[in-house]
Amino acid sequence: MGWGHSPKFYAYRTADVWQSIGVTGDRLSFTDDETVTKLGMGYIANQGYECAMDAAVRFTLLNAGENATLSAKQMLNQHTRLAALIEENIMADGWYRKEDDSPTRGWVVATDFRELWQNAMCSEWDLNKTHFPASCIATAEEIAKDGYSRYYWNRATAGSRWNRPIIAWKGNLLTTVPLKGNERTLTNHLEDKVVLRAINKSLNRMVKSEKAVQVTAGRGRTFRWDAWGWLDGIRNQRLVTMAKQRKLGDIVNGWKFTKGRVTTTYGVEVCEHAWEPVEGFNWYRVLIGGWAGSLTLNSFFFDKSEAQAYIETLPELPNGGHAMRKEDGVAHKMIYTVDCCTAGFILKPELMVEELPTPIEMFKRTQLGPAEYYQKVRQEYSTQHGRSRMAQRITNY
């Protein structure tokens, strides 16, 4: 049927939709830690499309607190009760009539609590549509006037493609009320056993797909949120970031303390921190072009004019041989060129830069000093990101 690797169902909506109607909360009640709140709520908000009960269960497990375990019965709350109404097809993304009698889209239930839709596989495009059309809430006057003889006027749009349920009849019209303003009444409509059945189905799905962790088995089995390890890891990085003794902008011996590479996860900024040169500087190398590639001479300069002057002292290059680069049979003339490069160092934040050379002196040593010193700066002094920024050693000494 071509649904791809991530099939969608009419029951799916995004996290912001579930939060807007109360299936999930907008904050965590167990903590005042802004980092935990941002990470936890960010994680909830980035789950993509999912059904209401999965969203409610995940939020309930997270909101229970760090490494807390809950049984299905302990998950009975306003979030899972609302989600159960959707799981039972009683609440729908549909239509109701405002005071001026105009059809208005919203999350609704029928006044007689009839089922308003059926779940089935669908395309992502269908998830932007309502579970039933506005024609389903037609009044007797509208039906008498227009006839409403169309086949689909009283059928849900969510359901099996060839057998979508009839939810309104001319002799039993559909009247709906919105969830908004009726939350308390609707939350308590279903019996606990019905809600628990929906919670357990969700838990089975989430454990199977590794979205929740089952801690104990048997009667009263318990579960916990699956991502506490991930959250703790980022939170600890954040604490290390905030605990650095150096201050951003500190300048020591030509080095400046910076944020370094920054990773932002759900609004939480974690800085690698680093020492970088206060002022960047360029250096120049001499290349020989014209062969299949280019060759770099074992020389470098901090002044472009000096590099150019050095070229004038070099012998004239031959312009023949099989190694010449050719285009359309014409050989490229071999020439000396000056290449401008930027020296880059990103050193680990824990280093005592007071005891290290200045950036320009360190560059000279990495290029002219022993190869062991170059490797020491690269492997021991530089951050992982800094290793890719270091200039390659061009001298053979």
Q: What is the pLDDT of residue 2?
A: 43
Strand pairing category for 103-110 and 176-178: antiparallel
pLDDT of residue 397: 45
Percent of the chain with pLDDT over 70: 89
Mean pLDDT of the 309-333 span: 68
Sign of the alpha-carbon torsion through 70, 72, 78, 82: positive
Model confidence over 131-189: pLDDT tens digits? 999 999 999 888 888 766 666 789 999 987 777 899 999 889 999 999 999 999 999 99
The pLDDT score that the predictor gives to residue 191 is 96
Q: What is the pLDDT of residues 289-304, one digit of tens each?
A: 765 557 778 788 888 9
Q: What is the DSSP letter of 197?
A: H
Assigned token pair, 130: 């309502």
* Residue 3 confidence (pLDDT): 46
Cα dihedral value 363, 367, 369, 375, nearest 10: 80
Contact 258, 248 (CB under 8 A): yes
pLDDT above 90 (res 332): no
Low-confidence winner among 218-222, 263-267, 322-326, 338-342 (lowest mean pLDDT) = 322-326
Of residues 34 and 69, more confidently modeled: 69
Q: What is the pLDDT of residues 200-230, one digit of tens each?
A: 999 999 999 888 899 999 888 999 988 888 8
Task: Decide: helix, strand or coil at residue 287.
Answer: strand
Cα–Cα separations (whole angstroms), residue 243 to 74, 273, 350, 351: 38, 11, 12, 15
Distance CA 227, CA 111 (A): 40
Backbone dihedral region for residue 338 (phi beyond 0: left; psi -120 to 50: alpha; all else: beta): beta
Q: For the ranges 36-50, 306-320, 358-372, which has the lowest average pLDDT?
A: 306-320
Alpha-carbon torsion angle 186, 192, 197, 202, nearest 10: 60
Q: Tens digits of per-residue pLDDT, 250-305?
A: 899 999 999 888 888 777 777 888 999 998 888 898 888 765 557 778 788 888 99
Q: Which long-range contacts (CB under 8 A, 24 or more apart) does 256-264 make?
A: 257/349, 260/346, 260/349, 260/383, 260/385, 261/383, 261/385
Q: What percentage of the chain has pLDDT greater than the value 90?
A: 48
- Whether the per-residue pLDDT at 81 is higher than 90: the answer is yes
pLDDT of residue 328: 62
Widest CA span in the chain: 103
The pLDDT assigned to 14 comes to 94
Residue 373 banded pLDDT, cuts 50, 70, 90? very high
* CA 188/CA 175 separation, integer angstroms: 20
If one compares 107 and 240, the residue with the highest pLDDT of the two is 107
Q: How confident is the model at residue 1 (pLDDT cuts 50, 70, 90)?
A: very low
Mean pLDDT of 80-87: 97
Q: Which range (76-85, 184-193, 195-204, 246-255) has the least confidence? A: 246-255
Residue 320 has pLDDT above 70, yes or no: no
Residues whose CB is less than 8 angstroms from the CB of residue 267 and which lie 6 or more positions away in sequence, other chains included? 38, 42
pLDDT at 63: 94
How sure is the predictor about 387, in pLDDT bands with cuts at 50, 70 and 90?
A: confident
Q: Quick one: 320 exposed, middle or buried, by C-beta within 10 A (0-12, 13-18, 19+)?
A: exposed
User: What pLDDT does residue 170 have?
Assistant: 86
